[in-house]
Amino acid sequence: MYTAWTLKHKPRTLKDVIGNKQAIQTLIEWVKAWNKAAPKKKAAFLYGPPGIGKTVTVEALAHDLDMELVEKNASDYRTEDAVKRFAGIASQYATLFGKKRLILFDELDGITGTQDRGGVKALTEIIKTTRCPIVLIANNAYDPRFTNLRRYCMLIQFKKPPVSEVVKLLKKICLREGIAAEEAALRFIAQRSGGDVRSAINDLQALAQGKTRLTYDDVSWLAYRDRQENIFTVLKMIFYARSCTSAKQAVDMAEVDPDMLFEWIYENAPQHLTHPQDLARAMDALSIADVYRGRIRKTGNWKFMRYFLDFMTAGVAMARQKSRPSGWTPFRFPKRIQELSRTKGKRRLELAIGTKIKRRFHMSAYRASKEVLPYIKIIFENNVEMAAGIARWLDLDKEMIEYIVSDEKAKAILEHMETL
Amino acid sequence: MSFEMWAEKYRPKTLDEIVNQREIVERLKSFVKAKNVPHCIFAGPPGTGKTTAALCLARDLYGDAYREHLMELNASDERGIDVVRETVKTFARVRSIGEVPFKILILDEADNMTADAQQALRRTMERYTETCRFILIANYSGKIIEPIQSRCAPFRFTYLPKAEHDAFLRRIAENESVTLLDDGLEAIFDVCSGDMRKAINTLQAAASLGKPITAEIVYSVVGRAHPADVQKMVLTALNGDFTGAREKLREMIQKYGVAGTDIIRQIHTEIFRLSIPEPWKIRLADTVGEIDFRLVQGSNEEVQLSAMLARLVEAGYEMKQTEKG
């Protein structure tokens, strides 16, 4: 079964978190201070590059101090209204069961665009009045959007842990997974990840899972195939996940955006869900995912994003009921995308012709290029006189005419246009 | 033969010239008489005269200088709320001089606007009601938000009945000195099912060959305009080759630019022609219907149609199992 090692080997307690000792100590003291009275700064703002353990620290802290952690991602609080919904939670110091609360707003960078400015503002309001500690996490705390918000926060910087610490961690994971790994191999992975621990662990999993030994040679070629290796791991996770959760985790691991990930899944599903009934279920899931994507587009409401992700990952994973694992099947780059970039010039020209047609035809340029252009093509191939008349009437230029018909015909049409 | 596109040349210029959609035309004429027009929604399938009716209404209302009082926007081209709002504002804000105290704005393909853009449009419509009347044109009125619908007089356009379709094409053929044979005319109606723009384009493309127009010529023209070998694709899928069928689909969409709705309509026709057990046909028709619906809702035609193909592969497999069983 495919579980991300980043989750399987996630530190449960603070003493297992690597690096940032000073920052973590500051955070602990600040949270503990709440036991006496609310401190002046009611939010802690952790910032630093991705994958170095900011979220993990907060989770481990809640565990160690036996607090209830309320965790929110950017997708939960993009808009003002969405943020306001959490105001109630923040107004109570403890839960019904006497556990103290810790509220975490993760991925603050994910709030984008003008529409969401209200979200940052509403968040600031909640911080002003909160009765329990709030932690904010972002890559860049000095983003202008957070200028006002920062005044109410204690800023805590998280830095990349030293390579030696990352190597130590990778060693520990290998030990637990029963893999004998060369130090040089682990050092290579750690160095290459540039301090991003999460990506180092993902790399290790991609390279070492299922093996008993890991040598330097096994990893050195990796530098060239970075991104692809990542997407392959992610796709495997999705196509062979046994639980919805593990399939959904793949999205976080992927280095491509969800739309591109969707294309990869859509392209490769038939090779991995080989049983017709499984494939029908998988394609149905992708079709539903696409409907949610349509809803995001039409309503402008990003809350539908989570359903889009559900269906393209868990939906596809759960489609597998009868297919056998297809052994080693290479993953293919999404052909649809390849084609689209290949035909870009063609589409540009078609749209330009469509725009010419539109001026005469009272319809959109896009529809004109789809619905009228095919007939114009036939006329141009068969009837020079009529073609010349139409070309003049639509005001088509040489490039357009040459696009519509073969060079020889185009020449005849252009010549005839001169005589008109 | 004249050398422009006939679909434009023979577009009716005044309401009197519109031979079909009689009830609609009568109501529009009463607007002209009263010199007052409410906001309107013209809904109906393509090629049924929605834009024509709007243009004719404007011409009858304002006379030959109607262009000065009329603006045509296309929601698909003029993308984004802001563009529409700004253009509309600038146009709508200034009062028309003359007998009719308002302008007319035709917003084509209005059902392609996002809900947000429609909300913004609604406010603009309200603010400038005094100086500007809107005619929204859409294929599906259901995709226009409720608050706009309730402010507009609805008009539902339908495909032309065969008799009117035939009369119209015959008139064009005669005018252009083209020989249109009966079976050619039948064939045009068969493939265009009353979509007049498509029908006239087909007629002109067929005429460009310079021969009497027969059914054979019509089908070959349509085949070249839309080389959607849907039958082959369906059979490939039923035989279990999903990837092969998807390649064919991709070619139709990307290379030939066939619209998703056209493909699904042809799949629907094809299903009932297949030699498969009868109960399977209606089962598959259910899937076709569902996918047709999702095409409207979703964002990517190829993905939606691929789901249809996968279902066909599955159906082919299940039929074989039953045979064996």
- A150: nearest Cα among A165, A138, A162, A160: A138
* CATH code for the domain defined by B162-225: 1.10.8.60
Q: Look at B257 and A369 and tell me if their CB atoms are within 8 Å.
A: yes
- The reported pTM is 0.57
Q: Which residues of A touch B225 (CB under 8 A)?
A: 374-375, 377-378
Q: Look at A371 and B224 and tell me if their CB atoms are within 8 Å.
A: no
What's the whole-number average pLDDT of chain A? 86
Domain A20-157 falls in which CATH fold? Rossmann fold (3.40.50)
Chain region(s) in chain B for CATH 1.20.272.10: 230-316
CA distance A302 to chain B (A): 13
| Interface membership of A378 toward B (CB under 8 Å) | yes
Q: Which residues of A touch B311 (CB under 8 A)?
A: 280, 283-284
pLDDT at A228 (0 to 100): 59
pLDDT at A1 > cutoff 60? no
pLDDT at A332 (0 to 100): 82
pLDDT at B1 (0 to 100): 52
pLDDT at A112 (0 to 100): 54
Phi-psi region of A41 (alpha: psi -120 to 50; beta: other; left: phi over 0): beta
What are the structural domain ranges in chain A? Answer: 20-157, 241-341, 344-419
CA-based nearest residue in chain B for residue A312: B303
In this complex, the residue of A367, A375, A389 whose CB is nearest that of residue B4 is A389
As a whole number, mean pLDDT of residues A111-116 equals 53
| Interface membership of A259 toward B (CB under 8 Å) | no
Q: What would the pLDDT profile of A139-153 be if each residue is shown by its tens digit?
A: 888 888 888 889 999
Buried b / exposed e along B193-232 (16+ C-beta atoms within 10 A): bbbbbbbbbbbbbbbbbeeebbbebbbebbeebbebebee
Q: What would the pLDDT profile of A241-272 be if each residue is shown by its tens digit?
A: 889 988 998 888 887 789 989 999 999 999 99
- What is the band of A326 on the pLDDT scale with cuts at 50, 70, 90? low
Q: Look at B4 and A364 and tell me if their CB atoms are within 8 Å.
A: no
Chain region(s) in chain B for CATH 3.40.50.300: 21-156
pLDDT at A366 (0 to 100): 82
| Interface membership of A352 toward B (CB under 8 Å) | no
Q: What would the pLDDT profile of B183-218 be if each residue is shown by its tens digit?
A: 999 999 988 888 999 999 999 999 999 999 999 999
Q: What would the pLDDT profile of B217-270 be if each residue is shown by its tens digit?
A: 998 888 776 655 888 999 999 999 999 999 999 988 877 777 888 889 889 989
- What is the band of A292 on the pLDDT scale with cuts at 50, 70, 90? very high
- What is the band of A230 on the pLDDT scale with cuts at 50, 70, 90? confident
As a whole number, mean pLDDT of residues B300-321 equals 95
pLDDT at B128 (0 to 100): 87
- What is the band of A371 on the pLDDT scale with cuts at 50, 70, 90? confident
pLDDT at A225 (0 to 100): 47
Query: Measured between alpha carbons, how far is A289 from B303 in angstroms, rounded to an integer?
Result: 10
CA distance B103 to chain A (A): 18
Residue B254 CB partners (closer than 8 Å, separation 6+)? A336, A339, A340, A343
In this complex, the residue of B8, B210, B255 whose CB is nearest that of residue A360 is B8
Q: Which residues of A touch B204 (CB under 8 A)?
A: 375, 379, 386
Domain B21-156 falls in which CATH fold? Rossmann fold (3.40.50)
Q: Look at B77 and A358 and tell me if their CB atoms are within 8 Å.
A: yes
* CATH code for the domain defined by B230-316: 1.20.272.10
Candidates A267, A271, A295, A362, partner chain B, best to mutate (most B CBs within 10 A): A362
- What is the band of A328 on the pLDDT scale with cuts at 50, 70, 90? low
CB atoms under 10 Å from CB of A60, counted, come to: 20
Chain region(s) in chain B for CATH 1.10.8.60: 162-225
CA distance B108 to chain A (A): 7
pLDDT at A116 > cutoff 70? no
Q: Quote the distance between the C-alpha of residue A173 and its chain's center.
A: 26
pLDDT at A306 (0 to 100): 93
In this complex, the residue of B210, B246, B303 whose CB is nearest that of residue A287 is B303
pLDDT at B52 (0 to 100): 94
